[in-house]
């Protein structure tokens, strides 16, 4: 894998156009095949409709697997929710046609994917797990466990919907710190009603002003030259305070969802 410099990584941003005249966008055509999924036995639906080998991988909580639609400004998208992290890994292997389960980090409990398994290829799907967001304990946020699990679910759903909106509205979706800041901003607004830079540092695993990072952000910076990654961590740490003030101002003026998205995505982390 070729590495890129910290400067190149931190300069990344989206070219944002004016808000579309009509939102939400029309659903993508493949969603029509999922219209009967809601309320059905999820595994049976995947087997009958897409011929997926649902018995290939073990499931700890098969009855917890549900299928439904999420509504976004980019149109509706199917969601497959699971009851635990292990079942999320199994469902990811199933819809992507992997021969074996690929373990996901414990900090990853949601994915927006372009399915690759035969029969469901090029269907965009959100996969959700049920766990504390970013594997952060409730005590770190001063919340009880039930409250945090409820907020985690709301945050996770809004986060993944925001990724899908970025793909449909702006033509891209990456495992990049800027995309993750944007998606977590939307998620924090859904779960808490505001965006907190300090909360985001917990989610990213940033400590000591970005001098160390032990969480999710390390995953998104794998393409950066190893000895320049600390420069990225520190730049992200600084940007979070700027974004907190910006989002608070946008919320105060009752800015549209689209405007909040674009105000983050059109600026690089350098220019946050």
Q: What is the pLDDT of residues 130-168, one digit of tens each?
A: 999 999 999 999 999 999 999 999 999 999 999 999 999
The confidence band for 229, taking pLDDT boundaries of 50, 70 and 90, is: very high
Total tally of structural domains belonging to the chain: 1
SS (H, E, C) the chain: CCCECHHHHHCCCCCCCCCCCCCCCCCCHHHHHHCCCCCCCHHHHHHHHHCCCCCCCCCCCHHHCEEEEEEECCEEEEEEECCCHHHHHHHHHHHCCCCCCCCCCCCCCEEEEECCCCCCCCCEEEEECCCCHHHCCHHHHCCCHHHHHHHHHHHHHHHHHHHHHHHHHHCCCCCCHHHHHHHHHHHHHHHHCCCCHHHHHHHHCEEHHHCEECCCHHHHCCCECHHHHHHHHHHHHHHHHHHHHHHHHHHHCCCCHHHHHHHHHCCCCCCC
How high is the pLDDT of residue 18? 83
In a domain, 89, yes or no: yes
* Average confidence (pLDDT) over 115-139: 95
Quote the percentage of the chain above a pLDDT of 70: 100
In a domain, 93, yes or no: yes
In a domain, 37, yes or no: yes
Quote the percentage of the chain above a pLDDT of 90: 90
* Average confidence (pLDDT) over 32-49: 89
How high is the pLDDT of residue 106? 86
How high is the pLDDT of residue 36? 79
**What is the domain range of residue 48?**
6-265
In a domain, 270, yes or no: no
In a domain, 272, yes or no: no
pLDDT higher than threshold 90 for residue 262: yes
Q: What is the pLDDT of residues 165-196, one digit of tens each?
A: 999 999 988 999 999 999 999 999 999 999 99
In a domain, 271, yes or no: no
pLDDT higher than threshold 90 for residue 75: yes
pLDDT higher than threshold 90 for residue 271: no
pLDDT higher than threshold 80 for residue 39: no
How high is the pLDDT of residue 272? 76
In a domain, 143, yes or no: yes
In a domain, 1, yes or no: no
């Amino acid at each position: 894998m070729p590495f890129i410099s910290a400067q190149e990584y931190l300069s990344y941003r989206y070219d944002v156009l004016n808000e579309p005249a009509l939102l939400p966008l029309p659903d993508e055509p493949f969603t029509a095949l999922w219209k009967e999924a809601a309320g059905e036995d999820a595994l049976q639906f995947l087997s009958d409709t897409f011929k997926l080998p649902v018995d290939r991988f073990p499931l700890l909580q098969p009855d917890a697997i549900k299928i439904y639609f999420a509504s976004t400004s980019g149109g509706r998208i199917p969601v497959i929710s699971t009851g635990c992290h292990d079942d999320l890994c199994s469902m990811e292997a199933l819809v992507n046609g992997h021969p074996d389960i690929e373990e996901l980090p414990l900090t990853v409990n949601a994915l927006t994917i372009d399915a690759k398994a035969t029969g469901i290829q090029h269907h965009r799907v959100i996969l959700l797990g049920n766990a504390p967001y970013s594997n952060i304990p409730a005590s770190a946020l001063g919340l009880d466990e039930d409250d945090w699990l409820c907020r985690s679910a709301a945050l996770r759903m809004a986060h993944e919907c925001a990724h899908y909106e970025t793909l449909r509205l702006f033509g891209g979706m990456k495992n990049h710190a800027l995309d993750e800041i944007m998606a977590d901003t939307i998620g924090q607004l859904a779960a808490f009603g505001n965006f907190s830079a300090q909360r985001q540092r917990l989610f990213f695993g940033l400590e000591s002003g970005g001098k160390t990072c032990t969480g999710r952000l390390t995953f998104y910076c794998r393409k950066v030259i190893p000895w320049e990654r600390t420069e990225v961590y520190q730049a992200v740490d600084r940007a979070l305070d700027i974004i907190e003030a910006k989002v608070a101002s946008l919320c105060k003026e009752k800015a549209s969802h689209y405007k909040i998205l674009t105000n983050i995505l059109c600026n690089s982390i350098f220019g946050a």
